[in-house]
Structure 1
């Protein structure tokens, strides 16, 4: 598999392998320090701006459009991951990182300067493109530079800053709102983020130059080609039409989910969007499985019959859909209104999930490193996740104390981390090095699609129930303000004192709607248990993905773009040469690449 992986790798993968071969261990650690700085900056930004969204939309008298903004974010987060991973494979990791940072900065500037909710929502396109680009590229970089045994631990590096930032973010947001305004909360990051990116950028550029000086940096696939030949090369290398189908399908399906309850499902525009989106969705597998139409398919053909990958993608979808039905987008609004909490405390309660899941992910990564297995943790995690959602229905009520609500968040965070980290590792373990970017991007793409669907369903339930319940419960003297209360979180949370008839009516409308959303979340999370049982429990130290160069966990063979030779991966065993086998063999037999690889292990025991 490692030999076939190297031969089938696209130019960007080979460039990264060449760069990795020039690293010393010290140089690699410096690159990881750069990853840590970038992760810290994006983490603090996210924890800060998350608390500003409701105030930005309320400034335009459109608080109810919070879910719409999140759906726009979710759509972009979903559709940008595939093309960004392809750009990284075709052009290189540094080039993709630079493009993501540029998108991020444009998004910050546009959000800070927006003068209407439409402009603010449109800014999410660039902002989310940059955010998701960095997210996927950091995980791809980690997959490129670590063996499977250490990968779960390395993949938690971007999460570590959340341990501090979940507490700093809400306080920073409140400070910005008090002393400046919400626009500054976006604008300052257009300066901070590029500075944070510099160490990683320099590490990649310097080692890229070293590789070029040694003559091991592969040439561009566009060298010597005419303009038309370059267009054709890009068409096939990027799988341009396949990516277009993916983007159009998910965009046209997800957007109507949050607009349907307001515009009405009889709206011909929404129906047209859904029909076209569904048609594109159906067309995706036919296009991606064609060797002629998609020789470099974003969704490799072997993946379609890989049980572990398909189950892992479905699990990520339902897992994050439930998350966006329970923690986002209306939990903070619920705390501000029903629990009557200040912004900082409400923000910290919401982020308890992130804090807990980060700690758990570090612990579980060490457990995976020493046991070399991942599945048992994932199965336990899905069970805890469902139980946690059930506890939320019982204890997320007006009568519950903040301490009890925090307890349910902790429970859910433990289950969520036990589910997410091992599931991503299982999907990555099922792919070769040339495919690991696609596998990682698919996992995170389905994760975001699930989040966008969950946010859309939350928005549909919220917008169809809260106004109706407000009109039903508000006393006569404030009944005419139902629309304004619904659209302005500040008015709903501070307009009337707790215990007054109007506030009691608002709280009841919020409470009943939240319970309804949580009930849907439990139903959505149940399939995760079954899907976790379907994934293969790989013995991680017996899998060779064909990663080359200096990596965390060991040094792989140096890159040789001339002759191809057998290659010893991160495990202690050595693979037999697979020369003569072609890539289509896996597709015909429909088995996991790692299963076929393990049958060629000399003297190793079969993975359970």
Structure 2
């Protein structure tokens, strides 16, 4: 396409200037050069990634500062401890899952086994959303310690439960802690490993499952034949803090080491406690998490509880579960859509550009 633009200052014997638009190949070459330039600026070394970035959230800044003070010996010890923690995680998870039917059967409620699993797994999955924010805002060691405490609390409640309701609540605390500990370990590996070797190290942390798969079955039989299912849960409330404490100490020690070296910028928000509560409620999307958690819980629980109703699917309770579950989930998705920036400005720019081209065309 050629755009002939007459030169208003030309003399009669001069040839008018002809402006040619770039061809497709010219655009492709220019685009490739631009992409190469962008790629060149985006590629960063591991040292640059570890540099504390003032624009990042405080928890991320602490992780960047910690990466600058880790010693080789501490990192080796941390990765060995991580392997042991994942072994304990898998071993305890296998035994806990196998013991669940025995617990519900002891309370004459074996059919609620699936219900407890649905609720705990659902809440644990949704918990990852605000927990990721906790790690970025509060810090890795603090979040890790909080989730170990949640897991221990879950085991204590399971060991002392007297009904299915208490056991279900205990499963929620346990699953939330279990999932978050695994998530924290993955984040730790991402923080402390280079991109080149990251996949290998993540696979290394999952390798205990190759052993656990063959161990927890016989171990569960031994528990049932000897100490019983209550101590089968209670023993993990003792093991978890002992196994996880060394990793927490390593992270906390290097965090304080980075603080002493002045690598972590001090932040003064200037907010009151009331303003801080509102700020973190918005940051963690508390209302949104409650809406989606309640909505999905009601919707999914209806598929497990309908068989207990005389009218089954025609039961008013099941219908309410389905309707309110869908409405609450829809309310959460609608709120997210409204927060998404509109593209009206971009469309206006495109329309203006296209109008200019049409005006300039012959």
With the length of structure 2 as denominator, give the TM-score of the two structures. Answer: 0.74
For the residue of structure 1 that corresponds to 2:162, the secondary structure is coil
Do residues 189 (structure 1) and 207 (structure 2) align? no
| Distance in 2 (alpha carbons) for counterparts of 1:132 and 1:240 | 19
User: Which residue number corresponds to residue 270 of structure 2?
Assistant: 224
| Distance in 1 (alpha carbons) for counterparts of 2:277 and 2:307 | 43
Do residues 256 (structure 1) and 302 (structure 2) align? yes
| Distance in 2 (alpha carbons) for counterparts of 1:195 and 1:240 | 32
Paired residue for 2:328, among 263, 272, 280?
280
| Distance in 2 (alpha carbons) for counterparts of 1:169 and 1:198 | 23
User: Which residue number corresponds to residue 241 of structure 1?
Assistant: 287
Deviation readout 1:319-358 (Å, 9 max, x if unpaired): xxxxxxxxxxxxxxxxxxxxxxxxxxxxxxxxxxxxxxxx
Contact 1:34/1:199 (CA < 8 Å) preserved in 2?
Answer: yes
Runs of 4+ in 1 over 4 A off after TM superposition: 1-8
| Distance in 1 (alpha carbons) for counterparts of 2:282 and 2:129 | 14
User: Which residue number corresponds to residue 121 of structure 2?
Assistant: 74
- In 2 relative to 1, CA 70–10 (structure 1 residues): closer, same or farther, beyond 3 Å? same
| Distance in 2 (alpha carbons) for counterparts of 1:6 and 1:278 | 41
Moved more, 256-265 or 87-96: 256-265
Paired residue for 2:102, among 45, 55, 64?
55
Deviation readout 1:21-42 (Å, 9 max, x if unpaired): 2113332222222222221211
| Distance in 2 (alpha carbons) for counterparts of 1:88 and 1:268 | 42
For structure 1, the residue ranges without an aligned partner over 5 or more in a row are: 292-300, 303-583, 590-608
| Distance in 1 (alpha carbons) for counterparts of 2:323 and 2:258 | 49
Contact 1:90/1:238 (CA < 8 Å) preserved in 2?
Answer: no
Deviation readout 1:285-326 (Å, 9 max, x if unpaired): 4433555xxxxxxxxx69xxxxxxxxxxxxxxxxxxxxxxxx
Cα deviation for residue 141 of structure 1 reads 1.9
- In 2 relative to 1, CA 257–72 (structure 1 residues): closer, same or farther, beyond 3 Å? same
Larger relative contact order, structure 1 or 2 (CA cutoff 8 Å, min sep 6): 1
Q: State the aligned residue count.
A: 297
User: Which residue number corresponds to residue 20 of structure 1?
Assistant: 67
- In 2 relative to 1, CA 203–174 (structure 1 residues): closer, same or farther, beyond 3 Å? same
For the residue of structure 1 that corresponds to 2:81, the secondary structure is helix
Do residues 97 (structure 1) and 144 (structure 2) align? yes
Indicate the RMSD between aligned Cα atoms, in angstroms.
2.8
User: Which residue number corresponds to residue 76 of structure 2?
Assistant: 29
Contact 1:90/1:237 (CA < 8 Å) preserved in 2?
Answer: no
User: Which residue number corresponds to residue 380 of structure 1?
Assistant: none
User: Which residue number corresponds to residue 130 of structure 1?
Assistant: 177
Q: Which protein is bigger by CA-based radius of gyration?
A: 2
**Structure showing the higher helix proportion among its residues:** 2
| Distance in 2 (alpha carbons) for counterparts of 1:160 and 1:105 | 24
- In 2 relative to 1, CA 148–261 (structure 1 residues): closer, same or farther, beyond 3 Å? farther
User: Which residue number corresponds to residue 350 of structure 1?
Assistant: none
Cα deviation for residue 223 of structure 1 reads 4.2
1:167-566 matches, within 5 Å, as 167-220=214-267, 223-263=269-309, 264-289=312-337
| Distance in 2 (alpha carbons) for counterparts of 1:66 and 1:42 | 21
- In 2 relative to 1, CA 250–140 (structure 1 residues): closer, same or farther, beyond 3 Å? farther
